[in-house]
Amino acid sequence: MPPYNSINLHPSSFGPSDLSLHTYDVIFIGSGWPANVGAARVTQAGMKPVIVESELIGGDCPYWACIPSKALLRPGEALQDAKSVPGIAITNGLDADAVFRGRDSWTGDWDDQVLIPSIGGDDADFVRGHGKVVGVKKVRVENTNGESVTLEARQAVVICTGSEPVIPNIPGLADANPWIPRQATSTSQVPKNLVILGAGAVGCEMATIFANLGGKVSLISSTKELLPRTDPEAGALVRQSLVDLGVEMYLSAEVTGVQRKRDGTLEVQLKHGSVIHATEILISTGRRPRVKDIGLEQLGIAVNGSRIPVDESLCVGLESGEWLYAAGDVNGRAMMSHTAKYHARVVVNAIIARKTGAKPTITEWGSLSATADKYAVPQVVFTRPTVASVGLTRQAAEAAGRSFREVTAPLKTEGAELRAIGYKDGWAQWIVDAESGQLLGATFVGDDAADLLHASTVAIVGGLTIARLAHAIPSFPTMSEVYLNLIEAAGF
Ligand SMILES: Cc1cc2nc3c(=O)[nH]c(=O)nc-3n(C[C@H](O)[C@H](O)[C@H](O)COP(=O)(O)OP(=O)(O)OC[C@H]3O[C@@H](n4cnc5c(N)ncnc54)[C@H](O)[C@@H]3O)c2cc1C
Ligand SMILES: NC(=O)c1ccc[n+]([C@@H]2O[C@H](COP(=O)([O-])OP(=O)(O)OC[C@H]3O[C@@H](n4cnc5c(N)ncnc54)[C@H](O)[C@@H]3O)[C@@H](O)[C@H]2O)c1
């Protein structure tokens, strides 16, 4: 695939003048998961949706985020799996060109015509252009040719404009033409020397990808440990495995300057005088909701630190009524694809409940409330070992002043060891409410740990105590016996 700059982000189909309708039941601004799932549910409820998109239809996930990054991670994981069982002869390592071609097929070569038939259900209309709320239930759409249309919603407008990377203000960085995740997920070249700034989910997954593909990677973090949203035990296990892959670590580090030299190479200066020489620098220092120029100021909506203020049904309270919603990354509650899908369900339930003009009661864990955002957001970071977590970590429980008990156990079970000779042990953790014994959080760090998570998510959402979980018998010999390890470590 050609480099990022040659991808056509503004195809000519679905122009404003191609629309035959100008009034819809629900208008979605942004075509990622909230619109994709939401429009299909709107159609199922007998209403007509339209999806407005300024770039490729489908949002970031299929072209620049989850899908290409996981497609690039999977071959390295499969290779390690194959190496860890007897009877499979491995003659070669990864073929980078073939790995990139495999990724290209997942993104449809960044041609959204491939994905459009699977987006928004059977009856959604699409229009390309920048969408902006210009009045009560009114959205103006203008494309890059200056063509425009004003749409009206009978029921609701859903803002789902996603998020954008945060670029730190470091001297020389902007002029050095840094990569953001878009360049990293769409490249077909392995940089000889890649510096990654920021060691959250993006930084650690990208370090894994490019080190697996044979690049020299330096990972710089301002924090003491990788993956600071989890407890340090998780980050330490990922750090050790990245070091084993040859990644150079710079922790508690500060970049003071970046310079792109005449020969195209980079110099990255650190606070205490050392300089890293690189061919590219990837910025993975977090994301913020994309709220600029979408009409919020005109509606008098005070955006708090770039978060749109929403209630538990994800509705923005306005004097003109309850017709404006914010779903997915843009509301800043939990920036992941699966939460964006969850938001879509809640929002459309709320739109249907308010359709008759009724004022529905919103109750915790009811169908009109995104309650899981508060208690049970799952996340899997697809490094090796995988880090799968849900609910509270120890650090988060301490910060929230909770009275809790921490239970930890090895991840090793016969099931795990049967999957891989010499299965490298990981770490499992439960955070349990000290009084009620209810599960508040869980973290699993280990190879193939991703699918262990959902049982803990269900337990947290269901308010299960670990005394009751002691009766949930995991099958032998599966990796789920890590639950037995935890139950026994908890004294049951
Ligand atoms: C490298 C990377 C890997 C990731 N991996 C995972 C993962 O494995 N699992 C996971 O759950 N999450 C992952 N995420 C996070 C995930 O990508 C986001 O949470 C998800 O894409 C959010 O969906 P969204 O629809 O809210 O926003 P987006 O996907 O950003 O979609 C918003 C859309 O709105 C459009 N838009 C913006 N403004 C306007 C406007 N004014 N008018 C019209 N259109 C507009 C944008 O062009 C975009 O297409 C990853 C993120 C990154 C960066
Ligand atoms: N597998 C997944 O679910 C997955 C994968 C990738 C991204 N995502 C989501 O995408 C979003 C963005 O991910 P991300 O990793 O960019 O953000 P993040 O906020 O998770 O991590 C950014 C890291 O950069 C560090 N940092 C900030 N400024 C820095 C600086 N100047 N120098 C060095 N380090 C600095 C922060 O301390 C933090 O650890 C997150 O919401 C994440 O959950 C999810």
Nearest to 184 by CA among 171, 169, 194, 175: 194
Backbone φ and ψ for 285, nearest 5 degrees, come out as -105, 30
Residue 2: pLDDT band with limits 50, 70, 90: low
Around 301, how many Cα atoms within 13 Å sit in the side-chain half-sphere? 28
Nearest to 252 by CA among 232, 266, 282: 232
Q: What percent of the chain has pLDDT over 90?
A: 95
The preferred substitution site among 54, 61, 133 for testing ligand 1, maximizing ligand atoms within 8 Å of CB, is 61
Distance CA 286, CA 236 (A): 20
> What is the CA(249)–ligand 1 centre distance, in A?
28
What is the torsional sign of CA 79, 84, 85, 87? positive
The preferred substitution site among 226, 287, 288, 373 for testing ligand 2, maximizing ligand atoms within 8 Å of CB, is 287
Distance CA 378, CA 201 (A): 13
Ligand with smallest separation from the Cα of 342? 1
Strands of 48-147, DSSP E: 49-53, 125-128, 130-135, 138-142
Distance CA 312, CA 322 (A): 13
Q: Is the pLDDT of residue 272 over 90?
A: no
Q: Are 242 and 219 in contact, with CB atoms under 8 Å apart? A: yes
Q: Which fold has domain 385-490?
A: Enolase-like; domain 1 (3.30.390)
Q: CA separation (Å) from 242 to 86, 202, 270, 279, 466?
A: 24, 14, 21, 20, 34
Read off the pLDDT of residues 79-136 as tens digits, 9 standing for 90 and up.
999 999 999 999 889 999 999 999 999 999 999 999 999 999 999 999 999 999 999 9
Question: Which ipTM score applies to this complex?
Answer: 0.98
Q: Is 287 in the pocket of ligand 2 (CB under 6 A)?
A: yes
* pLDDT for 239: 98
Which pTM does this prediction carry? 0.97
> What is the CA(379)–ligand 2 centre distance, in A?
13
Q: Is 379 in the pocket of ligand 2 (CB under 6 A)?
A: yes
Read off the pLDDT of residues 166-206 as tens digits, 9 standing for 90 and up.
999 999 999 999 999 999 999 999 999 999 999 999 999 99
* pLDDT for 299: 92
Task: Tell me the domain boundaries of the chain.
Answer: 4-65+102-164+288-372, 174-285, 385-490
Q: Is the pLDDT of residue 322 over 90?
A: yes
SS3 296: coil
Read off the pLDDT of residues 198-256 as tens digits, 9 standing for 90 and up.
999 999 999 999 999 999 999 999 999 999 999 999 999 999 999 999 999 999 999 99
- Helices 337-354 and 33-44 cross at an angle (nearest 10°) of 30
Q: Does the fold of domain 385-490 match that of domain 174-285?
A: no
Mean pLDDT on 426-432: 98
Q: CA separation (Å) from 167 to 17, 172, 178, 229, 282?
A: 36, 12, 9, 19, 10
Pick one of 2.60.40.420, 3.50.50.60, 3.60.10.10, 3.30.390.30 as the CATH number of 174-285: 3.50.50.60
Q: CA separation (Å) from 88 to 84, 85, 98, 245?
A: 9, 7, 20, 22
Ligand with smallest separation from the Cα of 164? 1
- For all residues of the chain together, what is the average pLDDT? 96
Q: CA separation (Å) from 273 to 166, 196, 223, 318, 423?
A: 25, 18, 18, 52, 40
Nearest to 211 by CA among 96, 366, 50: 96
Residue 394: pLDDT band with limits 50, 70, 90: very high
CATH 3.50.50.60 fits 4-65+102-164+288-372, yes or no: yes
Bridge partners (DSSP) listed for residue 381: 387
Sheet holding 266-270, edge to edge: 255-260, 266-270, 275-278
Ligand with smallest separation from the Cα of 294? 1
Read off the pLDDT of residues 333-384 as tens digits, 9 standing for 90 and up.
999 999 999 999 999 999 999 998 889 999 999 999 999 999 999 999 999 9
Residue 419: pLDDT band with limits 50, 70, 90: confident
Two structure tokens written together for 172: 């020389």
